[in-house]
Amino acid sequence: MSLCGDVCVVTGACGFLGKRLVKLLLQEEKTAEIRFLDKHVPPQVLQSLEDCRGETKLSVFEGDIRDGEFLRKACRGASTVFHIASIIDVIDSVEYSEIYGVNVKGTQLLLEACIQENIASFIYTSTVEVMGPNPRGDPIINGSEDTVYESSLKFNYSKTKKEAEERTLRANGEALQNGGRLATCALRPMYIYGEGCRFLLGHMGDGVRNQNVLYRMSVREALVNPVYVGNVATAHLQAARSLKDPQRRQTVGGKFFFISDDTPPVSYSDFNHVVLAPLGFSIQENFMVPLRFFYVVCFFMETVCLMLRPFIRIVPPVNRQLLTMLNTTFTFSYQKAKQELGYMPQYSWAEARRHTREWLASELPLERERIWSK
């Protein structure tokens, strides 16, 4: 089932995943219009898509996702919404009211706009972090959508994404103004890497400051399975096709799907090394301090920051839950997405690694100049 002739709204269209999805829509689907919904859309983003735009109209909607009237205007006349926009925060640096307002209330307002404006399909970009890991660091190996796990989420990011996902799935089957029904689904990607990944860029910058030695924040045994951004974009496209297909719509609607690919399971720190080693980076063999002691240090930092909160807001760069996330085996299969969405990774591990490495190589001179010029 094709999205040919459809009008698609992409929230967070100028972000890491959003830009990749828009490009994929332009390359593989003859959509009538793609609407960029973001706080700010730089002109160069649209200019970079001119070569693959074809006859597709590119429209810009700049505004706040917490503005219901703005969302109704952006959705009017559209058929499919890809809701990617959210605040990502794993150190709790953002005030809870802010992250809840964007991640939860923004999603709710967008769902209401879809119902009012007769949107047929709604694809929500969730995250593996709505599953955990829990504070105990209980592992999951090759988990599935049926895996039972006591999550006890700690991050405000995880909590708000979980609530937004639940609201999205509950909205499946809601009656539209025109008598139709809204179909929704949620995708839970693993840690997403690839060209434009700010986390990889940050790790590379830290390595440059540390004489081309990457910091170790994960034990080697804490396996995760990152997923390439091009494959996550493919999963979104397949989800939209499935929700449009009358036969698959009933099967897919109201469900969530884990999205991974064939990237080999490895720890977060060792993954950074895998993609950066060809650029001359090594990695620390062990933690600078024992991991248990690191937890104690984080506990004291968190306690001091909490005591100072009435007077000044200080956010420690690392907390215990982040350490747990980085040091817990947490891998998931994409078999359900393959069976029900028809999702298959478009890029192999070798291709994904090469594209990522080439992008990092192009950024490395700029990163070195930026760091050493300070």
Q: Which two tokens stand for residue 265?
A: 């399971």
- The C-alpha atoms of residue 318 and residue 254 are separated, in whole angstroms, by 36
Question: How far, rounded to the nearest angstrom, does the alpha carbon of residue 114 sit from its chain's CA centroid?
Answer: 22
Q: Angle between the 349-372 and 229-244 helix axes, to the nearest 10 degrees?
A: 130
Query: Which amino acid is it at 69?
Result: E
What would the two tokens of residue 264 be?
Answer: 């080999």
In the residue annotation, 228 being an active-site residue is answered as no
- Write down the catalytic residue from 157, 268, 334, 343: 157
Inter-residue contact 166 to 308 (CB < 8 Å): no
Cα distance between residue 170 and residue 297, in whole Å: 41
Measured CA to CA in angstroms, residue 124 lies from 12, 80, 121, 242 at distances of: 12, 11, 10, 14
Q: Which residues are catalytic?
A: 157
